[in-house]
Amino acid sequence: MLQNVEITILAENRVRRAGLRAENGLSLFISTSEGDYLFDTGARDAFLHNAETLDIDLGKKVDKIIFSHGHHDHTGGIYAYLKKFGKAEVICHYNIFNRKFRVVNGGRLEVGLPYEEKDLVKMGGKFIYKTHPFHLTENILTTGEIPRITDYEKPTQVYQQMVLQDYITDDLHDDMALVLKTGKGLIILLGDCHSGPVNTVRYATEITKTDKIYGIMGGMNLVEAPIDKIQQIVNGLQEFQPRYIIPLHSTGFRAMNQLYNTFGPERVLMLNTGDRFTIK
């Protein structure tokens, strides 16, 4: 089990510290006794600026990058990373390079990774595709595809992807979480959690055979969710009795408020860009 973990928020929608940049995206730097990792790269290059400001040398420290899913606000920064450092090993789903769209007002808004695989490989990117749980180390693993069990966590938005020049429904099976097994319980890191927070936490406990949850941290994609769906998810998370919840990025203020009112200020940590969540 990991005894020392430090998670730094390198990119997030909110910022309070002078000199740091916020953006509509997510990037977390995870430092552990079993290596250092980057979970998502945000939309552009804010995570690089913020890492430098926080004296984190990503070029020397990052062992691997993990992509939570293929949307640009979580993957777009890979170009800036490769341009600056020249190489990266990325763990991701094989759908990551599919052209992805969100259906808005009868039209399509392209929301996928804005670069092609061949171009990023030329820049030094190495992409390792995993669809099942994958251990980066003994106590750090990705979930792979997450089973959709609950009937209340269906996506609010409509997504499509282009496959062989045809637009088809995108069920976002590339969505996955990163799980850290610590001496105090699991820390589960979410990107946008398109599979649903309850489904994700449940699956993390299944694949680790651990039901003690220390922290749930990341985006929950509830900005546009109706209040009854938010309440059902909050009720579902209560069953796992997490010690801490750190809602970020796409969680949305209504869901943050509901979590805060349910779990209380000692358990819901309202962190921002540059803040750290630490286990010692």
Name the pTM for this structure. Answer: 0.97
- Backbone φ and ψ of 127, nearest 5°: -110, 125
Write down the pLDDT at residue 131. 98
Closest CA to 130 of 88, 102, 96: 96
pLDDT reported for residue 33 = 95
Chain centre to alpha carbon of residue 238? 21
Give the pLDDT confidence score for residue 155 in this predicted structure: 83
Could you give the CA distance from residue 115 to residue 99 in angstroms, rounded to a whole number?
A: 10
Q: Give pLDDT, residue 106.
A: 83
Distance CA 5, CA 221 (A): 25
Consecutive 10-residue averages of pLDDT for the chain (280 residues): 97 96 98 98 98 97 97 98 98 96 93 97 98 98 98 91 90 97 98 98 98 98 96 98 98 97 97 96
How many other C-beta atoms can be found within 10 angstroms of the C-beta atom of residue 132?
10
Phi and psi at 121, nearest 5°, equal: -65, -40
The whole-angstrom separation of Cα 159 and Cα 47 is 26
Rounded Cα distance between 230 and 253, Å, is 11
Distance of alpha carbon 223 from alpha carbon 206, whole angstroms: 28
Q: Which domains does the chain have, with CATH numbers?
A: 5-279 (3.60.15.10)
Contact 245, 216 (CB under 8 A): yes
The candidate with the shortest Cα–Cα distance to 175, out of 45, 77, 66, is: 66
- Other CB atoms within a 10 A radius of the CB of residue 56 amount to 20
Residue type, 14: R
Report the 10 Å Cβ neighbour count for 133.
17
